[in-house]
Amino acid sequence: MGTIFESLTEKIKGYDRQRKGKQYNSAYRRVLNARAGSSSLVDEYGNVSEQSLRVIEEGLRKFEMARFGKMDKKFRDRLKNKLQRQSVREVLKKFRNIQIESQEWQEYKDDVEKLYNALSAGGSDGLSADGKQFDVGATKIMNFLFPELFVIVDKNVTKTLTELGLIGIPRKGGTYDYSFDSYWQIMQICYRELEQCVRLYGDIQNLLEFDKKPTTLTRIFDKCAFKRL
């Protein structure tokens, strides 16, 4: 069985029992419920509604992305402007019905890179109010938009994957120096780990039974990679 999903029940319980576990879970379930029966928060034309933008912003704040001055009052407007660009909408349309457990997503590397770079960029055109890279926040936005496809990457997940020898990402001060290549590698790690789970559970979808509904495979990966037992 894959190293990430070993001791699955204990890891999920450990995540849920952490100090802000209830806060994170509640925020994430609001994101999933906002899909209203769809697989994503993006419509067939590549649009994201005002209500969905609100849910995404609230989710980011609950997941503590507003720390250190990264999210000000104009954050949602900046995110809306990014997502409304024709080039971004064309990319968003492509991901609506793709899931992490299929191989199909690997054919869209260039499009994933375009979306990641657009959302993580720093500077005057960036999402972060301090002008710095919004790399971790970008992966959370991507996951919120497409919960069945994209994985969340933060220092907890990266630390676990690094300690397990699954990836090597250089440090940058007190955090990690993320790039699209490292994000793509982590997507592939999640896919490989899910593949290995088939040998134990027979059906990847059985993994969903270990977490409180609603949930997704990428959410369970996040919980299991959050902290080593």
Helix (H) or strand (E) holding 80: helix 75-84
Torsion of CA 120, 126, 129, 131, to 10 degrees: 90
Q: Which two tokens stand for residue 61?
A: 């704040």
Q: Which two tokens stand for residue 46?
A: 């590549």
Neighbours of 77 (CB within 10 A): 11
Task: Kindly state the percentage of the chain with pLDDT values over 70.
Answer: 99
Instruction: Indicate whether 113 pLDDT > 60.
Output: yes
The pLDDT, as a whole number, for residue 14 is 96
Q: Which of 143, 107, 161, 154 is nearest to 216 (CA)?
A: 143
Q: What is the pLDDT of residues 116-139, one digit of tens each?
A: 999 999 999 999 999 999 999 999
Q: Which two tokens stand for residue 41?
A: 């928060």
Q: Which residues contact 71 (CB under 8 A, 6 or more apart)?
A: 57, 60, 61, 65, 128, 129
Q: Which residues contact 192 (CB under 8 A, 6 or more apart)?
A: 2
Cα–chain-centroid distance for residue 179? 15
Torsion sign (Cα): 205, 207, 211, 215: negative
Q: What is the pLDDT of residues 74-96, one digit of tens each?
A: 999 999 999 999 999 999 999 99
The pLDDT, as a whole number, for residue 1 is 47
Give the predicted TM-score (pTM) of the model.
Answer: 0.96
SS3 content of the chain, % helix, strand, coil (to 5): 60, 0, 40
Cα gap 136→116, rounded to integer Å: 10
The pLDDT, as a whole number, for residue 2 is 57
Cα gap 42→47, rounded to integer Å: 6
Cα gap 95→93, rounded to integer Å: 6
The pLDDT, as a whole number, for residue 100 is 96
